[in-house]
Amino acid sequence: MLKIMLKACSVTVAVVAVSQVVSFATRYAAGQPFTLFVFLMNSILPVLTAFPAGLYVFWQTARLKRALAELRELHVKLEAKANRDQMTGFLNREAFFEQFKMARRWTDTGALALIDADHFKKINDTYGHLVGDEALKLIAGAIDRTTRELDIVGRIGGEEFCVFLPAASRDDAVQIAERIRIEVERLVFQPDDGKHYPLTISIGVALTRGHHLTSQLMRQADRCLYDAKGRGRNTVVVEDALAEMAERKTSETG
């Protein structure tokens, strides 16, 4: 409020100064004397009109600025709520794939990692869904700590996460995926009387190429994830590893 009053005072002083100069020039040009009464009137009338008007205008402007700031903050919150998974803070399914498609416009290379929590149904069935949610939060935290700042991370299903690694080579993708897997494996999860319950994940990684559609990449990553589950879980399988296995089987058959 003090700042508003100071602004109103500065405007009033300016109006008084302009009024005095104009009045003096007008009377001087007309050959009329510039008396004390004229000086007082040129001072008092602007104060009685300009100061209240300035005070009102600046007060309304400040209110409008506060309202706009609150509106912007609300918009940000609503946008975050619409695009973010409320439990993990990651992008939700729709927002993830939208950002994934946008990212592929500026890079033809990278890797798509599909992550699934191992034996998660057993946790929910044994300890309940609230405990299962705590396990998911721990896993999400591990993923968040081990991914890069430029990586796009989303929760695309109940216990399923997806990470796009822009411009990542095969070696980069393997290193990051292994980092995530190890970080989850090290988590301390004690749902029952302090007893440790091991948390693990399986990861399928598809290497992206410019001509691949999103649906194709997802199918490739899903096949790798299925293979990781078949290998006993807590495993990372990369797309070209499956291709090598298929080639070996073909050569052996031939």
Q: Which residues are catalytic?
A: 159
Between CA 174 and CA 203 the distance in angstroms is 10
Task: Report the alpha-carbon distance of residue 121 to residue 126 in Å, rounded.
Answer: 8
Burial-class residue 208 by CB neighbours within 10 Å (0-12, 13-18, 19+): buried
How many residues make up the chain in this entry? Answer: 254
**Any alpha helices (H) in 31-105, and if so which ranges?**
36-83, 93-103
**Closest residue by Cα to residue 127 from 202, 188, 184, 195:** 195
Q: How far apart are CA 55 and CA 3, in angstroms?
A: 10
Is there a contact between 149 and 166 (Cβ–Cβ < 8 Å)?
Answer: no
How many Cα atoms sit within 13 Å of 154 on the Cβ side? 20
